Structure 1
Amino acid sequence: MGGSQSALLAESITDWWSLAGVDALVGEDPAGWLVLLPANDAAAPRPKPTIAPEPEAAPLPAILQRQEAPQPVETKGPVVFPDAWDEFQHWLATSDDVPGSQWDARRILPVGQTNAPLMLLTAWPEIDDQRDGAMFSGTAGQLLDAMLSAIRTTRDVCYVASLAVTRPAGGRCDGAEAAELDRLLWHHLRLANPERLLLIGSDIVRMAAASELPETRGKILNINQDGGKVETVAVAHPAMLLARPAQKAAAWDSLKLLNRGR
């Protein structure tokens, strides 16, 4: 195709684009050249297309967000134990600072008075004790009473206590909790000031005598207490003796030593 026909075709195309509103190859603003305006609006300015706002960026995951500087945690010093007997007993019953009071809502408190002829001390209540609200309850308590009767004494003249006033989960504690209980042990013994001491159970034997229970069989353990020594023997817990009757002979070998001088 060429000649005058080509020129006419080019002129026709140019006229069409002019009618469509295209009068430049590049303009400052986009033009809706395919939109037909009404005849009376031919000279009106063409509206600019609406541009949708960009969507807000999703928040960063928490781990990537700016973290506030941690506030320093106030370090608490060692718990101060009351020095007066009555204040100490009230503190054991009510204070949140008592080591070993955090393990259970129900506290099992000591029974008896200071300067008792014999102090019965275990590490913490047994499950039955926690349930019944008293130390050495149930059949284990009945066996303990028989053991005391064999050395010609009764529970009501003894000072009966557990080092911790509640029972730890699994019957075990360590670390800082054990360290605080160790401090409490020696403070409690100093205030109780018993004539003699019966350690009941392997846990309290480790704490007070730094020995394993089998090593204490038939021995007097002189526990250093406040510059003096308190005559001490150690036996397995009555609950353990019920489960393992063969250990009763070892318990009697130690228990009968408390008959000396009576």
Structure 2
Amino acid sequence: MLAQSYCDWWSLAGVDALVGEAPAGWLTPPAANDAATKARPVAPAEAEPPPLPAALQRQAPADVPETKGPVEMPADWSAFQSWLAEHPDVPGSQWDARRVLPVGDPGAPLMLLTAWPEIDDQRDGALFAGPAGQLLDAMLHAIGTTRGECYLASLAVTRPPGGRCDAADVEALDRLLWHHLTLARPGRLLLIGGDIVRMAAGLALPDARGRLLEINHQGGKMAAVAVASPAMLLARPAHKAAAWDSLKLFNRGR
């Protein structure tokens, strides 16, 4: 029985003769019986996917615009005022279509300068409008002057979103600041608000309290004091004392 089982095994393995015409793999099943070699159905060719929408297709790189140099600012007073009112390249004019323009004449005894208009100013188209303007008038009266005797200006002619601008805008506004002061030629300078104090005097507003500042400009020095904006003083009346500490410095020597 054992011998018979050996013979049956060799027969199943395909070895049923001692000598064959050609060598064969004993354990390799015939191709006809190999399921792996059976013909497989040919999958139909996949349809080409539709093209992507134009918005999602790779776009050719756009031509990079040439970098503009520094904005050229008019050296004449009248031309400068017209430029502030109309020219699209005025730094700080890009945030709103309505521009709030300076009021007054060059060479005024006192120039009031803020960084940009307040929300009420932007709405009304005039600097220091509404209740904040009334408080400013009272502050000027306390030092013996009126806004009609002053030159009023904001460095930027529109208000940036949230009252903040980025470093690139600050650099352009810095050039505008010194050009504006050159043409305005004020006798003294009242800096209104922390932003303009940092730009013009390089100080934080609390550090400027009660100090007569000297702004270096074109080889000379311009007397200046700094106060918080009237809008902030209305919201925080406790800061009015600090504003008065600075304003009264203008009364010295009168």
What TM-score results when the alignment is normalised by the length of structure 1? Answer: 0.76
Does residue 81 of the first structure (1) align with residue 70 of the second (2)? Answer: no
Does residue 123 of the first structure (1) align with residue 115 of the second (2)? Answer: yes
Distance 1:245 1:69, change over 3 A: closer
Q: Which runs of 5+ in 2 are unaligned?
A: 1-45
Does residue 252 of the first structure (1) align with residue 238 of the second (2)? Answer: no
Please name the residue that 1:31 is paired with: none
Q: What is the distance in 2 between the residues matched to 1:85 and 1:64?
A: 51
Does residue 200 of the first structure (1) align with residue 184 of the second (2)? Answer: no
Q: Percent identity between the aligned chains? A: 72
Does residue 102 of the first structure (1) align with residue 90 of the second (2)? Answer: no
Deviation of 1:227 after TM superposition, in Å, equals: 1.5
Please name the residue that 2:152 is paired with: 160
Alignment coverage as a number of residue pairs: 210
Q: What is the distance in 1 between the residues matched to 2:207 and 2:77?
A: 33
Distance 1:133 1:59, change over 3 A: same
Q: Which runs of 5+ in 1 are unaligned?
A: 1-53
What TM-score results when the alignment is normalised by the length of structure 2? Answer: 0.79
Q: What is the distance in 1 between the residues matched to 2:181 and 2:220?
A: 11
Secondary structure at 1:205's aligned position in 2? helix
Deviation of 1:258 after TM superposition, in Å, equals: 0.6
Please name the residue that 1:191 is paired with: 183
Distance 1:125 1:58, change over 3 A: same
Deviation of 1:66 after TM superposition, in Å, equals: 5.5
Deviation of 1:63 after TM superposition, in Å, equals: 8.6
Please name the residue that 1:226 is paired with: 218
1:91-133: CA deviation from partner (whole Å, max 9, x where unpaired): 0000000001010111000000111100000000000011111
Please name the residue that 2:142 is paired with: 150
Distance 1:57 1:96, change over 3 A: same
- Runs (4+) of structure 1 exceeding 2 A deviation are 54-57, 60-70
Deviation of 1:174 after TM superposition, in Å, equals: 1.5
1:204-235: CA deviation from partner (whole Å, max 9, x where unpaired): 10111111111011101100112111100000
Secondary structure at 1:74's aligned position in 2? coil
Please name the residue that 2:203 is paired with: 211
1:145-182: CA deviation from partner (whole Å, max 9, x where unpaired): 00000000010010000000000000000121111011
Deviation of 1:67 after TM superposition, in Å, equals: 3.9
